[in-house]
Amino acid sequence: FWDFLILFFCLPVVIFNEITKKRLLGDVSCRIVPFMEVSSLGVTTFSLCALGIDRFHAATSPQASARPIEQCHSIIAKLAVIWVGSMTLSVPEILLWQLAQDTSPVSGVVTEYCTMKPSSHLPESVYSLVLTYQNARMWWYFGCYFCLPILFTVSCQLVTRRISPTEKKTECRGAKHSQCESHLNCTIIGLTIIYALCTTPENVCNIVVAYMSPDMSRQTLDLLSLINQFFLFFKCSVTPVLLLCLCRPLGQAFMDCCCCCCEGCSPDTTSSESSADSKLKTEMSSSIFFDKPRESPPPLLALGTPC
């Protein structure tokens, strides 16, 4: 859902800015777009950590083949922690960015762009915190949003693979359950690989800009920022598709929902449903009441028909 928000809101703003050199929604987009993009990194990071913990519990559970279904309120609580935590850690992005204008020396056209500069109108304590965040932003990105999910996923997978063989010897697990667990593990590994590939360029650019920004022009910095944003958009586009393809139960549920929606939007829904229901009732009645009584005497057929 957060990936959908990024593609629905941030992508049009970035494309509009590149085409017209005007910032859609002005200063608001300069603050909201980085906030949503950093929140997206946090949601993905903490979701991968939560999935790694879930796979670890699945491997170490004494009754892994008959694990109870997690309650809805427990899942909602986890999602709330992930979302609220990610948005809270991204709040400094709202105070860090500002809208700036620049006049091109060649064409004389006024262009609008977002600059990373805390507002001087902030309270002194808040201004010092935002300035500290700006100075540590590069390493915070690299440590929290890049190293943490990768190390967490790799460590959970290594521990799970070390525990699983001994557990399979002591417990009788079904082949279907083992296949499902392997599919889920492959799903988490695939999501982590996509996330690592899409966030590596941004971390490299952040390190390069931090140490070479005085020697780089603003056009080069804008180009690097645009490349990083489109890598993020690529991740938001590929992640749901990869999740639906690798996680077969979720993909099957998604296809069933799409089929139900398509049937619900079709004009002859009622006729198709009624024909399907009548066909099902006919088959059930024929299999229950007519097939067996044909081998029985006629009085049994007469007695069973009203029921």
Question: What is the CATH architecture assignment of 1-61+70-165+186-261?
Answer: Up-down Bundle (1.20)
Distance, in Å, from the CA atom of 14 to the CA atom of 3, rounded to the nearest integer, reads 15
Residue 51, CB-side half-sphere exposure with 13 Å CA sphere: 23
Lowest mean pLDDT segment, chosen from 31-35, 101-105, 250-254, 272-276: 272-276
Q: Are 97 and 31 in contact (CB under 8 A)?
A: yes
Q: Is the pLDDT of residue 176 over 70?
A: no
**Token representation of residue 51:** 């999935």
Distance, in Å, from the CA atom of 101 to the CA atom of 104, rounded to the nearest integer, reads 10
Query: What pairs with residue 103 in β-bridges?
Result: 110
pLDDT at residue 45, rounded to an integer: 92
pLDDT at residue 22, rounded to an integer: 81
Q: Are 58 and 80 in contact (CB under 8 A)?
A: no
pLDDT at residue 106, rounded to an integer: 63
Mean pLDDT of 166-172: 48
Element (H, E) at 140: helix 124-142
Lowest mean pLDDT segment, chosen from 181-185, 217-221, 230-234, 281-285: 281-285
- 288 pLDDT band, cuts 50/70/90, is very low
Identify which has the larger pLDDT, 291 or 162: 162
Distance, in Å, from the CA atom of 80 to the CA atom of 86, rounded to the nearest integer, reads 10
**Cα 235 to Cα 134, 150, 193, 307, distances in angstroms:** 25, 15, 11, 59
Q: Are 22 and 90 in contact (CB under 8 A)?
A: no
Q: Is the pLDDT of residue 199 over 70?
A: yes
Element (H, E) at 181: helix 175-212
How many residues comprise the chain? 307
Burial of 20 (C-beta count, 10 Å sphere; 0-12/13-18/19+)? exposed
Mean pLDDT of 112-120: 80
Q: Which of 112-126, 227-241, 288-302 tops mean pLDDT?
A: 227-241
Residues ≥6 apart with Cβ < 8 Å to 188:
48, 51, 52, 55, 153, 157
Q: Are 92 and 130 in contact (CB under 8 A)?
A: yes
The reply to whether the predicted model has a pTM over 0.85 is: no
- 307 pLDDT band, cuts 50/70/90, is very low
Domain range list for the chain: 1-61+70-165+186-261
**How many CB atoms are located within 10 Å of the residue 234 CB?**
13
Q: What is the pLDDT of residues 129-149, one digit of tens each?
A: 888 888 888 888 898 899 999
Q: Are 124 and 19 in contact (CB under 8 A)?
A: no
Radius of gyration of the chain (CA): 28
Q: Is the pLDDT of residue 275 over 60?
A: no
Q: What is the pLDDT of residues 77-96, one digit of tens each?
A: 888 999 999 999 999 888 88
For Cα atoms 244, 250, 253, give the angle at the middle one, nearest 5 degrees.
115
- 296 pLDDT band, cuts 50/70/90, is very low
Q: Are 48 and 104 in contact (CB under 8 A)?
A: no
Identify which has the larger pLDDT, 282 or 83: 83
Distance, in Å, from the CA atom of 94 to the CA atom of 35, rounded to the nearest integer, reads 6
